[in-house]
Amino acid sequence: MKLVHRNLEKNASGSLTLIPEETEDMWHVFNLISEGDQVRASTIRKVTTESATGSTTSNRVRTTLTICVEDIDFDTQACMLRLKGRNVAENAYVKMGAYHTLDVEPNRKLTLEKSEWDSVHLDRIELATDPVKHAEVAAIVMQEGLAHICLVTSSMTIVRSKIDVPIPRKRRGNTTNHDKSLQRFYDNVLQAALRHVNFEVVKAVIVASPGFTRDQFMDFVWQYAARNETKILFENRAKFLSVHASSGFAHALNEVLRDPVVLNRLSDTKAADEVKALETFFKTLQNDPTKAYYGERHVQLACEAQAIETLLISDQLFRAQDVAQRRKFVKLVDDVQDSGGEVKLFSSLHESGKQLDQLTGLCAILRFPMPELDEDDSDDEPDSD
């Protein structure tokens, strides 16, 4: 994402002008915009004009509108963002107060004005405008006849292609049909990978499957590369990493990212960092439960005691329509950082983020045990007769 202009006042109000440049940037914009914000962007409006004779003509004109956002809709598959609200600035084609829907698109400038830009907003702007934020990992998760080509960015996991090819069973004395279908399947998977993976940017290409499918596919890849002199494959051979997965479905990627070999290779990527942090939380919860808590009440009490070493928090919580609710979570993040704790903001578009959301979206690993938090729970329980 490109930051074109920054105009923030001392009271934290003001506006930023941004240009989202790719699909992941749309996710960042979605997380930045809240109801009540003002967004100014170019849009198409249908305008009906009446001539002196009474006849009417309709034309579509491009104009720049400023709306006060009332409704936000984000399509996670298409990465499209639609904002609905009332026009709040003079315009030749749209009356003040009239409703309009703005489609936020990549490579089109928008200006976002807020009454308050908090620390979480500004951290996201810093992350989104970092030039090294592009897709960090490509993954081919497969089983015989089914494969998903995924890109794992710092904020989301995107399924770029699904390949589904029927593979007939092997028959005794006749394996021709089976082998031909398998070769066609591998070719389809490889062509999709060549089309969707930017080998110059990704740090690793993970090939994961149950059984021997991944090994057979990799043999096919290098035979194909030799036969067709595909330089890009040979030049990036060291980036390929073959690991086990339980299936060829996209959700198996989460277990793949927990593999120690993968974690070691991807140690400096945000996606691996999230997986590792969640794994540490679960281990602590199992082995030393008085140092791991989840849920707003327990985490807030631990924060007040300055006991939080690592806070795991979902970006889902910052999209609350209730401003007071959002401010509460922003203050929690600021307080943990002020006391020397580490904050890990999870994306709800990563599998690890979805897991965190199932645990209320809020977990904490503590510096020291706080068994009194459990006692607090038992004190709240009504006495039995």
> pTM value?
0.64
159 and 260 part of one domain: yes
Residues 257 and 177 in one domain: yes
Do 297 and 259 reside in the same domain of the chain? no
Report d(CA 28, CA 322) in Å as an integer: 20
For position 94, which CATH number holds? 2.30.30.870
pLDDT at 273: 81
- Percent of the residues in the chain that have a pLDDT greater than 90, as a whole number: 55
Torsion of CA 206, 209, 211, 213, to 10 degrees: -80
Q: What is the mean pLDDT of the chain?
A: 88
Q: Domains in the chain: how many in total?
A: 3
Say if residue 98 is in the same domain as residue 164: no
Rounded distance, CA 264 to CA 248, Å? Answer: 23
Could you say which of 95, 128, 161 is where a domain stops? 128
Same domain, 10 and 28: yes
Residues 148 and 93 in one domain: no
- How does residue 385 score in pLDDT terms, banded at 50, 70 and 90? very low
What letter does residue 315 receive in the DSSP assignment?
Answer: G
Of 205 and 383, the one with more pLDDT: 205
The CATH number assigned to the domain holding 224 equals 3.30.420.60
Are 113 and 14 spatial neighbours (Cβ–Cβ below 8 Å)? yes
What is the span of the domain harbouring residue 62? 2-128
Q: What is the pLDDT of residues 301-343, one digit of tens each?
A: 999 999 999 999 999 898 877 778 888 999 999 999 999 999 9
Same domain, 10 and 121: yes
Shared domain check, 257 and 168: yes
For 12-86, where are the alpha helices, taking DSSP H only?
23-32
Can you say whether residue 349 is alpha, beta or left, with left for phi > 0 and alpha for psi between -120 and 50 degrees? Answer: alpha
Shared domain for 101 and 25, answered yes or no, is yes
Alpha helices in 288-346 (DSSP H): 296-304, 323-338
Contact 176, 110 (CB under 8 A): no
Express each pLDDT in 85-98 by its tens digit: 999 998 888 899 99
